[in-house]
Amino acid sequence: MIRITNLRLAKVSLALALVGACSGSETAAPETVAVTSAPTVVATTISVPPVLATLPTTAVFLRSNGIGPFEFGAPYDGDAFEAGIPLVRDSDYGRSYPVDCGGGYFCTTGPQLETFHYTRARVICWDDGMDAHNGYLCAYFGGPDEHNLMFVGWDYVSATGPGGLFSSHGVTVNVLANELPALPPVPEGSCGSRTTVIVDGIYVGLVSDSGSVFGHYDADGTFARASPQPFDARVSHMIAGETILDTTDGGEC
């Protein structure tokens, strides 16, 4: 499965913002999962995505409390998710988080530090079906052990083209922000070339295609909001609920 480094950095920035900081038997080491980098995002111009009334009936709707027919808190049932999500499954793996790292998080051990709200995770990812765009929707399940897992979060990302899954107001990934009327203005406190807005209760990550910054911190720690704001902001990812966070690299801020 293709996992995107930029998504990991953006998720770290989101997690740090939320906590107010910026910087079978189980074994201590997590299972090994192959990770490869995706190609650089390619600028693509498309028409404004449809609103709920005109979305395809086969679309898997992305919601703040679930995906499709499934809501957060539902017990893990691989067969049910297989039947209820009309997409091709790409990967399915488990991982342990044995170390209590504080703040309600549990961590892996080793050079790649990941955190999760539970000591055990299972992740199922689907190809979003949009040709060769390398779009993936992942569902996260968490609990105390592999026999007691529940649906707790999801994320969605597309490497090289617009997504085919939408929120109720037509928001999807890899689309320019100016093509999405539902997106609110970029908030104060954005940092570097990445920022996050909330639409339909979903965290929507934005990245500047040109690398122009939304804001930065001066040497004395004062935040300065860029003016004008980047005009080429693109939706990099969408997240709801509790997901695995890679905190190996803190990103730009």
As a dihedral over the C-alpha atoms of residue 46, residue 51, residue 52, residue 57, rounded to 10 degrees, the angle is: -30
Pairing of strands 105-107, 135-143: unpaired
pTM of the model: 0.74
Query: Which among 1, 11, 3 has a CA at the least distance from the CA of 207?
Result: 11
pLDDT tens, the chain, 253 aa long: 434 334 444 443 444 333 333 333 343 444 433 433 333 333 333 333 444 444 454 567 899 999 988 999 999 988 888 888 888 888 999 999 999 999 999 998 877 789 999 999 999 999 887 766 678 999 999 999 999 999 999 999 987 788 888 998 889 999 888 888 888 877 666 778 888 899 999 999 998 888 888 888 888 888 888 877 777 889 999 999 999 988 765 555 5
Distance CA 213, CA 47 (A): 26
| Cross-strand partners of 194 | 191, 207
- Tokens for 74, please give them: 């539902």
The domain ranges of the chain are 5-38+51-175+239-246
Pairing of strands 88-96, 245-246: unpaired
**8 A C-beta contact, residue 112 and residue 101:** no
